[in-house]
Structure 1
Amino acid sequence: MKSCSAMESTSCIKFSLMSLIWIIVLINEMHVYKGCLETERTALLEIKSFFISVSDIGYDDKILPSWVGEDDGMPSDCCDDWEGVMCNVTTRRVMQLSLNYTERLNYYDGTSASLLNMSLFHPFEELQSLDLSGNGFAGIYENRAYDSFGSLKQLKMLNLAFNDFNDSILPYLNTLTSLTTLILNWNSIEGSRTKQGLAKLKNLEALDLSSNYYIHGSLEGLANLTNLQVLDLSYNQNLTTLGFADLPNLKTLDLRYCGITTIQGI
């Protein structure tokens, strides 16, 4: 290949730039099949590995089978082909994760005391909806390398129903200040062992605490949820006193099958 002469130097530079541009385009096209960002694709595979690790032996191939890495099979689009994943059509970032009933346990022999690693969800900067219901988690932890107060800033809906969480998760939930919907039914929440409760969730519009059974006394912090429109406290037979200072936007209050004897502030 002959080198460029002085007169051809400008043309050579243009040709080199165009070649570089085409290389970049080809590289991007090679990664189109991945759909979501590479960092988020990797994070999704880490979530799959986590669920396999907390499930009983023998369920590996039944847990999120459509979530495959490059070494697992044919390349697939993690935004369009992976179950439970929904992405922003423009940014291709993950917006919604539906991981309900993902943990697999033997009905007769398996007992779930798993802790949920919330650090796994920090890479998803545009995550707005997260469904983790029906997994039998008993608590939450995070890796210290992550800043829990700087993560999940756009999370609007969190579904933790049908787990075994107790009041120990309330301080963490209280940091998710962007939440508008929080579903905690069928857990073991008592609601009276923490001073703040969910008081910092000022944007919360819907809260489901039904069927916790252990809730008793006066629920801490609910009086501060001034944007709350829907509150479900049904099937909490030990809840005897309900105290609110001011819930001006409350439209629906479900107290079916509760032991309520006193309602204050409404």
Structure 2
Amino acid sequence: MGLFLQVLTVLVITVSLQGWVPRGCLEEERIALLHLKDSLNYPNGTSLPSWRIAHANCCDWEGIECNSSTGRVTVLYLWSARNRELGDWYLNVSLFLPFQQLNYLSLSDNRIAGWVEKKGGYELQKLSNLEYLYLEDNSFNNSILSFVEGLPSLKSLYLGYNRLEGSIDLKG
């Protein structure tokens, strides 16, 4: 019993001195990222080759940054991640819901034409920490505005080079 207590004491002291440092992203977020990769690559793309099941630490994957203390994804930089030759596509926004600390999302230059029905823009409003949203150089029309206006923490929105028409009523 004495040896057990000594080992336990050393373990507790070691953990206390080092603090809790996550060894990578959360499994829930890693799985969500792999689903997002599949969506970007549908039907036969080859984007995001560093996003692999065998590489468990998604915080090291291309275009991803994580909070160093929680291991949660905070930045998704997916500018031009989808092969343009695959054509326009519709984004399933519910794929982003596992990212509870996401504050920066770039989906620019991916030929996004809109949202998957019932998994679309209103799901975007559940991203309560999202501060920076880059959607330029896609195929969005004016309907995008009704979805982004409900983002509670949004500070910057980039929508250039889309299919917006007419005057736009900006609130706040």
* Runs of 5+ consecutive residues of structure 1 not aligned to the other structure: 1-10, 26-31, 191-215, 226-266
Residues 98-131 of structure 1, C-alpha deviations (whole Å, 9 max, x = no match)? 001111133xxx5x23111111111000000000
* Runs of 5+ consecutive residues of structure 2 not aligned to the other structure: 16-21
Cα gap change, 1:90 to 1:143, in 2 (>3 Å): farther
**Counterpart pick for 1:51 among 24, 40, 61:** 40
Residues 33-85 of structure 1, C-alpha deviations (whole Å, 9 max, x = no match)? 5x11111111111111111115xx3x32xx11111103xxxx35211x20000
1:142 and 1:148 in contact (8 A); partners too = no
Q: State the distance in 2 between where 1:166 and 1:150 align.
A: 18
RMSD of aligned residue pairs (Cα, Å): 2.6
Greater gyration radius: 1
Question: What are the equivalent positions in structure 2 for 1:1-266 lying under 5 Å apart?
Answer: 11=1, 18=8, 35-54=24-43, 57=44, 59-60=45-46, 63-70=47-54, 75-79=55-59, 81-106=60-85, 110=86, 112-141=87-116, 143=118, 148=123, 151-190=126-165, 216=166, 218-220=167-169, 222=170, 224-225=171-172
Cα gap change, 1:44 to 1:185, in 2 (>3 Å): same
- What is the percent sequence identity of the aligned residues? 39
Q: TM-score, normalised by structure 1?
A: 0.53
Following superposition, the deviation at residue 164 of structure 1 comes to: 0.6
Q: State the distance in 2 between where 1:185 and 1:150 align.
A: 21
Whichever structure has more helix as a proportion of its residues is 2
Following superposition, the deviation at residue 189 of structure 1 comes to: 1.1
Larger relative contact order, structure 1 or 2 (CA cutoff 8 Å, min sep 6)? 2
SS at match of 1:167: coil
1:95 and 1:128 in contact (8 A); partners too = yes
Number of equivalences: 158
Displaced runs of 4 or more, over 2 A: 141-144, 147-150
Cα gap change, 1:149 to 1:135, in 2 (>3 Å): closer
Q: TM-score, normalised by structure 2?
A: 0.80
